A = this chain, B = another copy of it.
Amino acid sequence: MGMVGGGPGAFIGAIHRVAAQLDGQIELVGGAFSSDPGKSRDTGTALFLDPTRVYGSYTEMMEKESALPADRRMDLVSIVTPNHLHFEPARLAMESGFHVVLDKPIAFSLEEALRLKEISEKTKRLCCLTHTYAGYPMVKEARYQVAAGHLGAIRKVYVEYPQGWLSNALEKEENKQASWRTDPARSGIAGCMGDIGTHAFHLAEYVSGLKVSHLCAELGTFVKGRRLDDDGAVLLRFNNGATGVLMATQVAAGEENNIRIRVYGEKGGLEWQQQDNNTLLLKWPDRPAQACRAGAAYLSPSSLHNSRTPSGHPEGYLEAFANHYRNFALTLQAMMPNEKPTAEWLDFPTIDDGIRGMAFIENVVRSASSETKFIPFETVVPV
């Protein structure tokens, strides 16, 4: 694997590196870690990489790596740059023959996302999009419980992602993370909704197995001078008649990253939150609520496939992240000799999820500036 981005000061690059290599299925062999060749080199050295495979730019990396013999060159490229630098490296990677892992949201705009899909289909290269939370074993179990019909027809979906780290104008204090996330030129048309709203949106559709059909959004910017939304709430209507609420905020002072989902059907409900990620609560009208625990033998194959430790020994964020990488790698390995990947292996977010994520951003922003209450959820670029 090669990496684009993830140089000094980047948070998510280091996460990707640990996650990719956690299960011994993927090895980081090179990268273009920074647009500054010196910084890229320093990062490569710190990672004990072969200096000849540490590049000054992603274009150089794609060119040189694709020229290597098949058994030596990278199989895939992981792109962990800010949003405005997703499309070009991803396009070039696929066109150079590499599979791609992309951090979310998939691109800078819905239009870019749709184009990535075309390129992927043309080049027959796959993309994995790291919507981390869908990688948790107990989120897999939640999805399974809904899909198996244990909750009955779904009526309500509540999803929320409260953060507090942008309660102040951090972007004015040399904070690299805050800086690009609040900059329309690098982040896109949404701030909070692009950064964490898309996670919540993906989780809602992933667990419920439903698609949002209409939404009514309200966005806000609480910190003076901030150029993008730092808060929002969205009323949701789903394609089966269910309704729901999505709340995402980065100004809930004192909150960390406690993404949480609750789903209720005619026969029961479920609740999962990152802060207690190894537990899935199942709630029933006529019998005691159950606390399902990661790694327990009674779980679905899908959940167990994504656990590494015995029940009670907690796994967390890095392992959830690693599950996407592992499933992607298993799928790619199976495809090479033309085998069929299992349903468990194919269970990673794809370009289609990326397209819905970008559509979510664009629809939310459109709704937020509209006087009309509900608007339909569109997945094509308006002409």
Do the beta carbons of B164 and A269 come within 8 Å of each other?
yes
Partner of A18, one of B22, B220, B262: B22
Decide: B277 and A254 in contact? CB cutoff 8 A.
no
Residues B253 and A264 in contact, CB atoms below 8 Å apart: yes
Tell me the bound Cα distance from A276 to B277 in angstroms: 10
Which B residues are in CB contact (< 8 Å) with A151?
253
Interface residues of A in 1-37 (CB under 8 A from B): 11, 14-15, 17-18, 21-24
Which among A23, A286, A313, A372 has the greatest number of chain B C-beta atoms within 10 A?
Answer: A313
Which residues of the partner chain B approach A165 to less than 8 Å between Cβ atoms? 285
**Chain B residue contacts of A15, Cβ below 8 A:** 308-309
- A233-287 with Cβ < 8 A to chain B: 233, 235, 243, 245, 247, 249, 251-258, 262, 264-269, 274-278, 282-287
Q: Are B269 and A253 within 8 A (Cβ)?
A: yes
Q: Is the CB of B311 within 8 A of A317?
A: no
Inter-subunit contact A252/B235 (CB<8 Å): no
Q: Which residue of B lies closest to A270 (CB)?
A: B254
Is A296 on the interface with B (CB-CB < 8 A)? yes
Shortest distance from the beta carbon of A299 to any chain B beta carbon, whole Å = 9
A372: B residues at CB distance < 8 A: 371-373
Q: Quick check: A258 and B312 within 8 Å, CB to CB?
A: yes
The answer to whether B289 touches A222, judged by C-beta atoms less than 8 angstroms apart, is no
Interface residues on A, range: 35 or more
Report if A381 contacts B (CB, 8 A): no
Q: Answer yes or no: A185 CB below 8 A from chain B CBs.
A: no
Residue of B nearest to A247 (CB): B245
Q: Which residues of B contact A370 (CB under 8 A)?
A: 373
Contacts of A162 in B (CB 8 A): 262
B257–A310 touching, CB < 8 Å: yes
Report whether A285 and B254 are in contact in the complex, using a CB–CB cutoff of 8 Å: yes
Note all chain B residues with C-beta closer than 8 A to A22. 18, 22, 318
* A288 pairs with B277, CB closer than 8 A: no
Q: Can you name 23 A-B pairs with beta carbons within 8 Å?
A: A15-B308, A15-B309, A18-B23, A24-B48, A164-B264, A216-B373, A218-B373, A220-B243, A253-B267, A253-B283, A254-B282, A277-B314, A286-B298, A288-B290, A288-B291, A288-B292, A288-B296, A289-B290, A290-B291, A309-B316, A313-B317, A314-B316, A318-B318
| 4 closest residue pairs by CB, A with B | A256-B312, A254-B283, A257-B312, A314-B316
New contact pairs (5) apart from A22-B22, A278-B316, A288-B290, CB-CB < 8 Å: A151-B253, A155-B222, A252-B262, A254-B285, A372-B373
